[in-house]
């Protein structure tokens, strides 16, 4: 019998690999945050640094949903795709 959570763990490992190894993937997601928020990424990051809420984005390749999350979020729930894949802008920038 296979472990049903194994698939979810493998997806997370793959997503984490993209976040750590692919600067272009991070840059794409950061650009999507800028477009969605209508502000520069550094302004968004500065605000998140001094607040208890930050902008986050789903890290699934096929999903661009943004949401508000904790500044250190690495696997929050995405309302659009239903996965635990929302990451804070501060995490994407490597500040946390």
DSSP letters, 21-49, are H-HHHHHHHHHHHHHHHTS-HHHHHHHHH
pLDDT below 70 — which residues of the chain?
A: 1-22
Q: What is the pLDDT of residue 58?
A: 94
Q: What is the pLDDT of residue 96?
A: 85
Domain count of the fold of the chain: 1
* Domain coverage including residue 36: 4-92
Q: What is the pLDDT of residue 1?
A: 44
Q: CB pairs under 8 A, 24+ apart, for 32-35?
A: 32/57, 32/64, 32/66, 33/57, 33/66, 33/89, 33/92
């Amino acid at each position: 019998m296979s472990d049903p959570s194994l698939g979810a763990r493998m997806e997370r490992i793959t997503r984490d690999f993209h976040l750590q190894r692919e600067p272009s993937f991070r840059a794409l997601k950061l650009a999507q945050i800028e477009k969605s928020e209508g502000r520069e990424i550094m302004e968004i990051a500065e605000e998140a640094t001094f607040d208890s809420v930050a902008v986050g984005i789903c890290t699934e390749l096929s999903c661009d949903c943004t949401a508000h999350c904790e500044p250190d979020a690495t696997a929050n729930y995405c309302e659009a795709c239903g996965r635990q894949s929302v990451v804070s802008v501060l995490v994407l920038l490597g500040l946390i």
